[in-house]
């Protein structure tokens, strides 16, 4: 049994299932973390991971060997992860203000 075989059976060789699952995962994370300013970003990240896993399972279902898919997926995940880590560590992305806060409103306004 190949490592990705359960994923292929889960996806059912249909790209619609991971697409819908990613959408609902994004919405679920957004609702679960509704107070956090990072909720939309984390929701999109979870959705992208689900979509990526579905894409990998679909490529495996098409017969592309895992020896080709896995290194490419690992490279993409590493580049994206390191880029996000550098951006957050450097302070280039700040949390969005919480809805209803008066941050950014001039005094006397």
What length does the chain have?
109
- Among the residues of the chain, which ranges form H helices? 5-11, 16-32, 39-61, 66-90
Q: Return d(Cα 52, Cα 108) in angstroms, integer.
A: 49
- Tell me the pLDDT of the chain averaged across its residues: 78
Query: Is the per-residue pLDDT at 8 higher than 90?
Result: no
Quickly state the pLDDT bin for 101 (edges 50, 70, 90). low
Query: Is the per-residue pLDDT at 94 higher than 80?
Result: no
CA geometry: angle 79, 81, 83, nearest 5 deg: 65
Cβ atoms within 10 Å, residue 33: 14
Instruction: Tell me which residue has tokens 């049994």.
Output: 1
Quickly state the pLDDT bin for 24 (edges 50, 70, 90). very high
């Amino acid at each position: 049994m190949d490592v990705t075989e359960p994923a292929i059976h889960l996806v059912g060789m249909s790209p619609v299932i991971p697409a819908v699952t990613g959408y609902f995962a994004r919405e679920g994370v957004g609702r679960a973390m509704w107070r956090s300013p990072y909720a939309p970003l984390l929701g999109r990240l979870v959705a992208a991971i689900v979509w990526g896993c579905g894409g990998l399972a679909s490529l495996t279902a098409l017969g592309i060997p895992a020896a080709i898919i896995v290194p490419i997926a690992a490279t993409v995940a590493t580049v994206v992860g390191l880029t996000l880590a550098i951006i957050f560590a450097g302070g280039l992305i700040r949390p969005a203000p919480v809805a209803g806060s008066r941050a950014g409103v001039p005094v006397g306004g």
